[in-house]
Amino acid sequence: MKNNSISSSQIQILLLVLAGILLLGLGIWFGKGHNSPPMMVADEFPSATVLEVPVPLLQFSLNDHIGKLFTPDNFMRKWTFIFFGYTHCPDVCPTALVDMNNIYHDLAEKDELIEKMFGVGTQFVFITVDPERDTVSELREYVPFFNKHFIGLTGDADMIDSIARPLGIAYRRVPGKDAEKDYLVDHSASILLIDPLGRMRAVFSPPHVPKTIAADFRNIRKKYTEECCISGDEKTETVIFDYRKEKK
């Protein structure tokens, strides 16, 4: 009898300990961010949501506005600002491109387009969400109007999906007021920052203040360029990264 009651209280303690371990384990499992939003660095960058763990992109192949191929390789050893839009968009898209032009000049005026330590450049990319109307020649007229160094990208709808989805860019075609071909395209209006290993590192949500974005970009670049350049061999591996492996 006595032994029995002792052992049942021992079982209770054992159960409690087991439950504790289970809860702890669950806590760690959830804390690891299984399917949770990427970890962010708060406060340090007022205009940006910076991803502590950069988001890898999917393989894609697009054409730039002079018809050259643009693949994830084109992200390597450069910081890249990206905006998604379409040329039949006279309000939001020109505003964002003018903002990107102001960011460009903020850097260019101080000769800061190229990062000094590793010689990593900066590029600005406009990707159409309306490939049906925005052909290469359409983009050739449109994109350089804002800055002759900017790159416009178009291609198959599937390919545009491939690059847009991991970046969290949503877009949707909606009918216009009149004729069927006058459709509009709703789209996310964030400016995205891709790191020199072709991974999304930061998101700048609208409204955009070019000066603040440029200042944040300098700090992001200072903080993260090195980790992208030290493992120089990985650049040939292109984009489909397992960041867990990389973080080791």
Interface positions with another protein (CB under 8 A): 87-92, 94-95, 98-99, 102, 138, 141-142, 145, 170-172, 174, 176-178, 182, 184, 186-189, 206-207, 209-210
How far is the C-alpha of 96 from the C-alpha of 54, rounded, in Å? Answer: 23
85, two tokens: 């839009």
Closest to another protein by CB, 106 vs 195, is 106
Closest to another protein by CB, 99 vs 195, is 99
Are the beta carbons of 174 and 184 closer than 8 angstroms?
yes
User: CB 60 → another protein: shortest distance, Å?
Assistant: 21
Dihedral sign for Cα 207, 174, 85, 160, please. positive
Q: What are the backbone angles phi and psi of residue 122, rounded to the nearest 5°?
A: -130, 135
Closest to another protein by CB, 58 vs 92, is 92
User: CB 124 → another protein: shortest distance, Å?
Assistant: 16
173, two tokens: 């075609």
User: CB 143 → another protein: shortest distance, Å?
Assistant: 8
Closest to another protein by CB, 33 vs 176, is 176
User: CB 142 → another protein: shortest distance, Å?
Assistant: 5
Spatial neighbors of 227 by CB under 8 A, at least 6 apart, are none
Helix (H) or strand (E) holding 237: none
Closest to another protein by CB, 168 vs 243, is 168
Closest to another protein by CB, 97 vs 228, is 97
How far is the C-alpha of 115 from the C-alpha of 113, rounded, in Å? Answer: 6
User: CB 84 → another protein: shortest distance, Å?
Assistant: 10
User: CB 146 → another protein: shortest distance, Å?
Assistant: 8
3-state secondary structure 91-145: CHHHHHHHHHHHHHHHHHHCCCCCCCCCCCEEEEEEEECCCCCCCHHHHHHHHHH
